Structure 1
Amino acid sequence: MRISEFFGKFKSCMLWGNLVAMIVTILLLAVGVKIGLDRYTHHGESIAIPKLLHKDIAEAEDVANRLQLKIETVDTGYVKHLPPGCVLEQSPAPGERVKSGHAIYVTINATQSPTIKLPDIIDNSSLREAMAKLTAMGFNLTPPQFVAGEKDWVYGVLMNGKQVVYGDRVPIDAKLTVQAGNGMRDLNDDVNYIDPEYTSEDDNSASGEFGDFDDFEEVGEVPAEPAGEVNKEKKQAAKSHSDPVSKPHSPKKTTRKPETTNE
């Protein structure tokens, strides 16, 4: 093939027509794909997330539906002063912009207060330790109730006036009262006194310390004194107590007058 014939084929209308058709087809496919992706991904669209906090879940779903958004509940919590079923948390946060059909994940308030297992504190801890443990778990405590028993030792727990034991499920907002000892014994308590039991070894040890009782000599009776001598001694003792104490006589002083002479 000559060079002139080769370049002459580029002047064919059929060749250029096919090239133009291919280019147009590629362009149309690119534009179609772009339009389809934009429609599918909602490109260029944005919706501000509304504030749903503390709203009832039904009201929150109604607001989301009007904005072409969805509500999905992922968790529950409990706040005593808020009504049950209201929204406690939401994600994304209010004000963020998302596309239509986006889901808003919320945490709602439980309809009932959660329950917690009562720890093993009855007859197993002091009053101070029990109060600290229950407070850390979030229980609402009232002043302790003192009963007869060992001082500050936990003997029971009351929930709204009813007795509860270890392992019971107790609502977190229930009022608990710890019963502790006041250091005094109840008069109705029975006290059993048990006599000590002595064994043969104890008897042998006692005899070893004090010796054999047969070795001690018998002491005779002390002879009584005659009655006359006893009465005589009593009279002498009484006389010595009754006589007054004699005082020594001081010598009498005499004064001598001077002699006078008559002249």
Structure 2
Amino acid sequence: MSKFLSYLKTKSFRNNLLAAIFTVIAILFIAFFSLRYYTKHGQGLNVPELKGLEFTQAVEKLEALGLRYEVDSVYIMDQPPGMVIDQDPNAGTFVKDNRTIYLTINTSQAPNVKLPDIEFKSLREVQSLLEGFGLKVGDTSYKADVSKDVVLEASFGGNTIKAGDVLPKGSRIDLILGDGRGNEDVEIPNLIGLTRDEARFSLKGSMLNIGQVAYVGTITDSASAVVVMQTPIISDTLTKIKMGTPVNIILSNQPNQPVVPND
């Protein structure tokens, strides 16, 4: 032990200790500045705003800044195809050169989904179910049935559809619901002079459905054309019909247009 303590007091030990300290400092100094050079400390740029741009515009911006990119796609019906929907990192984020920016693009083609089983389910349940499958509720109409607000039939593009049928995502599904009143009779509304949309609204309020729609005379504006004939029509012998009955209408841009009813 005494020999070791004597060695610590020698000049040789002091020289070796100083050499070791300077060696460690030199290694740390070299490592620090090498790391700064390798990572380009303090050098970089802010990610540009790419959301809302066309894909080609976004690519031009990224390539001009020396940034790489990778692309994923989704389908959003209400957004134009080819537009950047999302980006990662967000705009304004400070990144190094050659960083990869991830872009989400809105695709032009809607993916297909299968119609879930919605028959004999409540309207509220069906709305939630369709939304989960990327579908939407379109027009609703009623027919005589003891079930109230329960889906009896579903259609798309005028054709009846069933569970398992393949449809484009985002499609609107028209539903026929039970009125909860069975075969109850309702008053026939007077549709003469109403536009098509007004007639549809009036019939829906009376738990009736719009049937065939025809036009007569020269049609200059179908939106402003009014009903000049309806079938069935209110008469002394007929004032009520079964709930859910379709009512056919004929429209014209000339309110006084003569119409010969079919026999």
- Alignment TM-score, normalising by the size of structure 1: 0.51
| 1:97 corresponding residue in structure 2 | 94
Residue pairs, 1:27-42, within 5 angstroms: 36-42=34-40
Identity of aligned residues (%): 30
Q: CA deviation at 1:39?
A: 3.7
Q: Decide whether aligned partners of structure 1 residues 154 and 60 sit closer, same or farther in structure 2, where only a CA change above 3 A counts.
A: same
Map Cα deviations across residues 193-249 of structure 1 (whole Å, 9 max, x no partner). xxxxxxxxxxxxxxxxxxxxxxxxxxxxxxxxxxxxxxxxxxxxxxxxxxxxxxxxx
**Residue 151 of structure 1 contacts residue 184 of structure 1 at CA under 8 Å; is this kept in 2?**
no
Q: Decide whether aligned partners of structure 1 residues 72 and 168 sit closer, same or farther in structure 2, where only a CA change above 3 A counts.
A: same
User: What amino acid does structure 2 have at the position aligned with 1:156?
Assistant: E
Q: Distance in 1 between matches of 2:121 and 2:101?
A: 47
| 1:72 corresponding residue in structure 2 | 70
Q: CA deviation at 1:177?
A: 0.7
**Residue 160 of structure 1 contacts residue 174 of structure 1 at CA under 8 Å; is this kept in 2?**
no
Structure 1 stretches lacking a partner, 5+ long: 1-9, 11-15, 17-21, 186-263
Q: Distance in 1 between matches of 2:46 and 2:126?
A: 50
Structure 2 stretches lacking a partner, 5+ long: 1-10, 185-263
Residue pairs, 1:168-179, within 5 angstroms: 168-179=165-176
Q: Decide whether aligned partners of structure 1 residues 102 and 119 sit closer, same or farther in structure 2, where only a CA change above 3 A counts.
A: same
SS in structure 2 at match of 1:60: helix
Q: 1:116 aligns with which of 101, 106, 113?
A: 113
Q: Decide whether aligned partners of structure 1 residues 34 and 111 sit closer, same or farther in structure 2, where only a CA change above 3 A counts.
A: same
Q: Decide whether aligned partners of structure 1 residues 125 and 28 sit closer, same or farther in structure 2, where only a CA change above 3 A counts.
A: closer
SS in structure 2 at match of 1:178: strand
Residue pairs, 1:85-234, within 5 angstroms: 85-122=82-119, 124-127=120-123, 129-131=125-127, 133-135=129-131, 137-147=133-143, 150-152=146-148, 153-181=150-178, 183-184=182-183
Q: Distance in 1 between matches of 2:41 and 2:128?
A: 57
Map Cα deviations across residues 15-69 of structure 1 (whole Å, 9 max, x no partner). x9xxxxx999999987765565444312220211111111122221221111111
More strand by share: 2
Indicate the larger mover: 43-52 or 110-119. Answer: 110-119
| 1:208 corresponding residue in structure 2 | none
Q: Distance in 2 between matches of 1:128 and 1:47?
A: 50
Q: Distance in 1 between matches of 2:77 and 2:132?
A: 18
More helix by share: 1
**Residue 126 of structure 1 contacts residue 154 of structure 1 at CA under 8 Å; is this kept in 2?**
yes
Q: Distance in 1 between matches of 2:91 and 2:99?
A: 13
| 2:213 corresponding residue in structure 1 | none
Indicate the larger mover: 64-73 or 77-86. Answer: 77-86
Q: Distance in 2 between matches of 1:96 and 1:131?
A: 40
- Alignment TM-score, normalising by the size of structure 2: 0.51
Map Cα deviations across residues 80-119 of structure 1 (whole Å, 9 max, x no partner). 3322122111122211211111121222212222443322
Q: Decide whether aligned partners of structure 1 residues 149 and 95 sit closer, same or farther in structure 2, where only a CA change above 3 A counts.
A: same
Q: Distance in 2 between matches of 1:33 and 1:88?
A: 43
Q: CA deviation at 1:149?
A: 5.3
SS in structure 2 at match of 1:142: strand
> Which has the greater radius of gyration?
1
Map Cα deviations across residues 117-158 of structure 1 (whole Å, 9 max, x no partner). 322122x32455434533565533223234565544533211
SS in structure 1 at match of 2:118: coil
SS in structure 2 at match of 1:76: strand
- Aligned-CA RMSD value: 3.9
